[in-house]
């Protein structure tokens, strides 16, 4: 490789070289440094690379080319839904009318933005089967936390706030569920899954009592399995005086087929950044709106976006509200994308999303079933889990398989989650992939299974074709080196 292409931008630096020059200053200059606190003033010039415009351009292009994303290849990350999102929704979110306004403006001057959020709330009511929606939370986990504060306010209003201290969470749950419950001040009780991978109804019954505040569930669950006993589950939780929380991060499996409202849930959050056209990952921004049944509506965060006659207003006149959970109205840009997505797909389009997501997952599962252990035999929804136990007997771990997939040009699936499946490999192909891509991925997984039989040592070396091999991920996270040192 040409040396200049492999050098860091700092190593390419030559004193005096410039990418851009400002015109000579032709007005009087002022030194303001004396007005700044001593500890904030720079004592020596910042060490910035001095390069030409083209060098700078190549630096960023080279970085972009090193990136693997949904636009470069298949990204089957289970539970995290990395699917292609229509670019037109990105354009819409960048319209000046949306980006050049400020949430502190007089609502009379931001009627269009308020109308969009109001109509999105109406659409999400239909998607979830709930009576009220609040768009504020900025992530799935924040939606969970806000939803659990609503639980708490509801129980307090019944005089049972101190008594109902426990939130039940299945052992297959996403890690944010027990974490959110703990942050909301609840004690977390784990419910063991049945052998079929779904909630054990008997274990649930045994855990329910007068101290139960509620149950958190995602359906389909994180194994990609539909909780077929959900109606009975809802009944017994309600009979015990508890509430049901629906983690709607997996909603892309049920759109237009069923709603959490119909299943008996009281509070739900959606991950707009998984299911409704904002890419997941990269740390945000996200949006985790919550929806509630009418009985819990008084406790939703303030302010509410409502319609009065022809005007959209911000209503804070809800004295029992848990208050505000996020600055302004949440991540508005994500709401715009979700609105554009829902309106352009229409009800039938959304239904097709979940049909295709489920079909693709079952297709891949069937193609891989002879080559990897499939702990749950029933049909899956939008994602499924395999186990690398068979491969472990050859001395190859699931992590090795994931690393080898990189050599084949694929992003790796989620591994070692959910925790209840040993050597877990969790695959979510999503609705947006072509059959040819699914086949290429299945062929790679099958080829890797063969390599495990024939030359397992190859897998321990993987990846062999990438710029970096295996990193000490713990060290990288604990002691990141992000500042250039000569």
Give residues in contact with ligand PLP (CB under 6 A): 79-80, 139-141, 174, 176, 218, 222, 247, 249-250, 271, 286, 288
The nearer residue to ligand PLP, 120 or 272, going by C-beta atoms, is 272
The nearer residue to ligand PLP, 55 or 142, going by C-beta atoms, is 142
CB of 108 to ligand PLP, least distance (A): 33
CA distance 49 to 67: 22
CB of 52 to ligand PLP, least distance (A): 41
The nearer residue to ligand PLP, 9 or 139, going by C-beta atoms, is 139
* Residues 249/174, Cβ–Cβ less than 8 Å: yes
CA distance 124 to 106: 26
The nearer residue to ligand PLP, 241 or 279, going by C-beta atoms, is 279
CB of 120 to ligand PLP, least distance (A): 17
The nearer residue to ligand PLP, 136 or 176, going by C-beta atoms, is 176
CB of 436 to ligand PLP, least distance (A): 27
CB of 149 to ligand PLP, least distance (A): 16
The nearer residue to ligand PLP, 214 or 288, going by C-beta atoms, is 288
By Cβ distance, which residue is nearest to ligand PLP? 140
Burial of 239 by CB count in 10 Å (0-12 exposed, 13-18 middle, 19+ buried)? exposed
CB of 286 to ligand PLP, least distance (A): 5
CB of 177 to ligand PLP, least distance (A): 7
CA distance 194 to 422: 15
CB of 417 to ligand PLP, least distance (A): 10
The nearer residue to ligand PLP, 76 or 241, going by C-beta atoms, is 76
Residue 163's CB is within 10 A of a number of other CB atoms, namely 15
The nearer residue to ligand PLP, 137 or 241, going by C-beta atoms, is 137
């Amino acid at each position: 490789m040409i040396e200049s292409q492999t050098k860091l931008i700092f190593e390419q630096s030559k004193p005096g070289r410039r990418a851009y020059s400002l015109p000579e200053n032709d007005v009087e200059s002022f030194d303001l440094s004396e007005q700044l606190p001593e500890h904030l003033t720079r004592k020596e010039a910042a060490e910035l690379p001095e390069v030409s415009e083209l060098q700078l351009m190549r630096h960023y292009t080279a970085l972009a080319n090193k990136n693997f994303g949904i636009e470069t290849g298949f990204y089957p990350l289970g539970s995290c839904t990395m699917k292609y999102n229509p670019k037109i929704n990105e354009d819409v979110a960048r319209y000046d009318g949306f980006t050049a306004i400020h949430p502190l403006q007089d609502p009379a001057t931001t009627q269009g933005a308020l109308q969009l959020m109001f109509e999105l709330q109406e659409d999400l009511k239909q998607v979830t089967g709930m009576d009220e929606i609040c768009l504020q939370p900025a992530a799935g986990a924040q939606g969970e936390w806000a939803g659990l504060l609503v639980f708490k306010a509801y129980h307090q209003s019944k005089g049972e706030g101190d008594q109902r201290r426990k939130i039940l969470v299945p052992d297959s749950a996403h890690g944010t569920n027990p974490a959110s419950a703990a942050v909301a001040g609840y004690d977390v009780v784990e419910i063991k899954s049945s052998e079929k991978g779904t909630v054990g109804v008997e274990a649930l019954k045994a855990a329910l009592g007068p101290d139960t505040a509620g149950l958190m569930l995602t359906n389909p669950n994180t194994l990609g399995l539909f909780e077929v006993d959900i109606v009975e589950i809802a009944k017994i939780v309600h009979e015990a005086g508890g509430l049901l929380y629906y983690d709607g991060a997996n909603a892309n499996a049920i759109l237009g087929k069923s709603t959490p409202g119909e299943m008996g849930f009281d509070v739900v959050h959606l991950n707009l950044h998984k299911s409704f056209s904002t890419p997941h990952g990269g740390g945000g921004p996200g949006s985790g709106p919550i929806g509630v049944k009418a009985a819990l509506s008084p406790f939703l965060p303030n302010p509410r976006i409502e319609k009065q006659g022809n005007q959209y207003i911000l209503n804070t006149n809800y004295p029992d509200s848990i208050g505000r959970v996020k600055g302004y109205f949440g991540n508005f840009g994500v709401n715009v994308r979700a609105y554009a997505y829902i309106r352009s797909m229409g009800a039938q389009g959304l239904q097709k999303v979940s049909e295709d997501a489920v079909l693709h997952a079952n297709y891949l599962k069937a193609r891989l079933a002879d080559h990897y252990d499939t702990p749950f035999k029933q049909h899956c929804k939008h994602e499924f889990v395999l186990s690398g136990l068979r491969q472990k007997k050859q001395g190859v771990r699931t992590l090795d398989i994931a690393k080898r997939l990189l050599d084949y040009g694929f992003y790796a699936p989620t591994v070692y989650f959910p925790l209840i499946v040993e050597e877990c490999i969790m695959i979510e192909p999503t609705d947006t992939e072509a059959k040819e891509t699914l086949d290429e991925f299945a062929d790679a997984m099958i080829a890797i299974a063969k390599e495990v039989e024939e030359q397992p040592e190859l897998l321990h070396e993987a990846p062999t074709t990438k710029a970096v091999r295996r990193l000490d991920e713990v060290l990288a996270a604990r002691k990141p080196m992000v500042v250039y040192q000569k």
